[in-house]
Amino acid sequence: MKHIDTLHYITHLLTDYPIAQQVEDVCCGGCRWIQLRMKHADTEERLATAQAIYPLVDRYRAKLIINDDAYVAKAVNAHGVHIGAEDMHPSDARHLLGPDKIIGCTANTLDDVLRLSQYDIDYIGLGPFRFTPTKEKLSPVLGHEGIHRIIAAARTHGIRIPIIAIGGIAIGDIDRLMGTGIYGVAVSKAIHGTMDKVAACRAITAQLTAHNPFPTINYESSITNHRSTKDERHLKNSR
């Protein structure tokens, strides 16, 4: 069973705040999940950055997840990849990376969640929570109500895969968001946009721990149960 952290930090290309320093700060603040996101970089630049920060991530015993690029994830032996709707198919990513690596996917609707849960993935990023300038092709904004509605419906379908809220989340949103049933949050500006990045990270970590002190889901059992339920429905419908 793979452990999925409740706090995911997504790097952002900033001229005055290098990615290596972002990683250092959030790791000092207690974050142990770094998603390397470099949307406008070419493969060589993304690979070089991943190689440069890997020793730092490893020193803190954190996880390095590569956004969008399973080939770079494989090249640097990262812990996994996060893929969007227009990126590599989850099954192709699993075939490329193997059974031990983490694969996360982005969802915006209940149909997305139900579809993605059929594949061998480890978590789903659900959003955007609100408008965020870090995404150029932004899906419809969900807000608290949208996220709560999708998660509640997913649970009625037997989906127990960890669902991470993403997209424009601020520190002040987290307490209410955790009431929607999400497993955790993925943030960027909520940390890098503050004066004291380490303190901001620690504050978010404390909030998440208060809501979910033991964030462990037996995903293998849950996906087996979900698939068994689908098989039972299929048998009933075929009779």
- The answer to whether residue 1 sits within a structural domain is no
Dihedrals phi, psi of 167, to nearest 5 degrees: 100, 95
**Global confidence as pTM:** 0.88
Give the CATH number for residue 222.
3.20.20.70
- The answer to whether residue 193 sits within a structural domain is yes
What share of the chain has pLDDT > 90, as a percent?
80
The two tokens of residue 87 are 């990126």
Q: What is the pLDDT of residues 82-106, one digit of tens each?
A: 999 888 999 999 999 999 999 999 9
Q: How far apart are CA 70 and CA 81, in angstroms?
A: 6
Strand partners, 10: 35
- The answer to whether residue 2 sits within a structural domain is no
For residue 122, which of 138, 98, 156, 87 has the smallest C-alpha distance?
98
Binding site, residues? Answer: 35-39, 67-68, 87, 106, 132-135, 168
What total of structural domains would you count in the chain? 1
Q: Which letter, b or e, does each residue of 141-170 get, where b requires 16 or more Cβ atoms within 10 Å of its Cβ?
A: ebeeebbbebbeebeeebbbbbbbbbbbbe
Q: What is the pLDDT of residues 135-187, one digit of tens each?
A: 556 678 999 999 999 999 999 999 999 999 999 999 999 999 999 999 999 99
Q: What is the pLDDT of residues 45-81, one digit of tens each?
A: 999 999 999 999 999 999 999 999 999 999 999 999 9
- The answer to whether residue 31 sits within a structural domain is yes
Binding site for Mg(2+), residues? Answer: 68, 87
Helix/strand/coil for 184: strand
Q: What's residue 134's pLDDT?
A: 58
Q: How far apart are CA 31 and CA 24, in angstroms?
A: 10
- The answer to whether residue 212 sits within a structural domain is yes
Domain of 176 in residue numbering reads as 7-238
